[in-house]
Amino acid sequence: MSQVKLIVSNWKMNFSFDQAENFVKKLKKIKFDTLKVNNIICPQFILMPLVSKLIKNTNINLGAQDCHYKLNGAFTGDTSVELLKNLNCNYIILGHSERRQNHFETDELINFKVKTVKSEKLKPIICIGENLKERESGKYKEILKKQLQRCIPSNLDEIIIAYEPIWSIGTGHIPSIKEIKEIQDLTINFLKMSKSINNIYFLYGGSVNADNLGNIMNSSDINGALIGGSSLKIEEMKKILTLC
Ligand code: PGA
């Protein structure tokens, strides 16, 4: 996986059934090098059966935007990893800042979810990130370390971390390459020191588009990107998938 860049589309709560179908049909026509790119799309839950069917036997992989930390039970409104697995979903985004903000998800809850996802042999993509106030206070490194310490279980074969500064999501403001590198180094060094994890993959997310992704990929050795707004635009995706 190390040579392959993960391009993770976070569709969030967008697209109707028709829009999703049309979009996937166009996405399937985009030619890209699968040795270089792992194209993962994460639709909202109710679109997943449709998307799963549409991408069967293609070079597109399926991801989810969340899951519950238990496999089943009395959890009204939640979604189980077991069912996601049945849809050939391989990746699950966990701890996105919108889940943390809107659904009051804590680092501890995210840790439970990571364990459940790993126990089912799926790949969690764990989001960390600081808000603007935390960045400006200069305390962001401590805050990110705390998130890593609490969200990530101790013994893992591999982990995918997505660094998504909250001040960058949907704003058009992206950190400099130096700032992204700083957090990549911090993440890898911290996890190597405090946990036992064989392989650590680091993604960047926040206002990624076809114009800035090339620069981020070329100037750093990050393992890919988590993309929101631009992942809903087919022309952007065409450029992004062929950039890597
Ligand atoms: P954005 O969102 O690309 O629209 O900034 C990224 C994300 O929230 O994952």
DSSP string, 35-89: TTEEEEEE--GGGHHHHHHHTTTSSEEEEES---SSSSSS-TT---HHHHHHTTE
pLDDT digits 0-9 by tens, 21-43: 999 999 999 999 999 999 999 99
Active-site annotation holder among 98, 130, 134, 164: 164
Whether residue 62 has its Cβ less than 6 Å from ligand 1: no
Separation of alpha carbons 164 and 174, rounded Å: 10
Helix (H), strand (E) at residue 180: helix 177-194
Whether residue 129 has its Cβ less than 6 Å from ligand 1: no
In this structure, the residue with its CA closest to atom 1 of ligand 1 is 228
Whether residue 200 has its Cβ less than 6 Å from ligand 1: no
What value, to the nearest 5°, has the Cα angle with vertex 11 and ends 118 and 100?
60
**Residue 187: pLDDT band with limits 50, 70, 90:** very high
Whether residue 10 has its Cβ less than 6 Å from ligand 1: yes
CB 116 within 8 Å of CB 78: no
CA of 21 to the centre of ligand 1 (A): 22
In this structure, the residue with its CA closest to atom 6 of ligand 1 is 228
R_g of the chain computed on alpha carbons: 17
Q: For the CA atoms of 230, 139, 93, 206, what is the dihedral angle to 10 degrees? A: 0
Share of the chain above pLDDT 70, in %: 99
pLDDT at 220: 75
Assess whether 103 carries a catalytic annotation. Answer: no
226 CA: nearest ligand 1 atom = 9
CB 117 within 8 Å of CB 67: yes
pLDDT at 219: 78
CA of 224 to the centre of ligand 1 (A): 13
Whether residue 227 has its Cβ less than 6 Å from ligand 1: yes
pLDDT at 2: 55
Q: Pick from 20, 33, 11: which is nearest to 240 by CA? A: 33
pLDDT digits 0-9 by tens, 51-68: 999 999 999 999 999 999
Return the bridge partners of 153, or none: none
pLDDT at 243: 85
Q: Is 177 helix (H, G, I), strand (E, B) or coil?
A: helix
pLDDT digits 0-9 by tens, 123-147: 999 999 999 999 999 999 999 999 9
CB 184 within 8 Å of CB 163: yes
CB 122 within 8 Å of CB 92: yes
In this structure, the residue with its CA closest to atom 2 of ligand 1 is 228
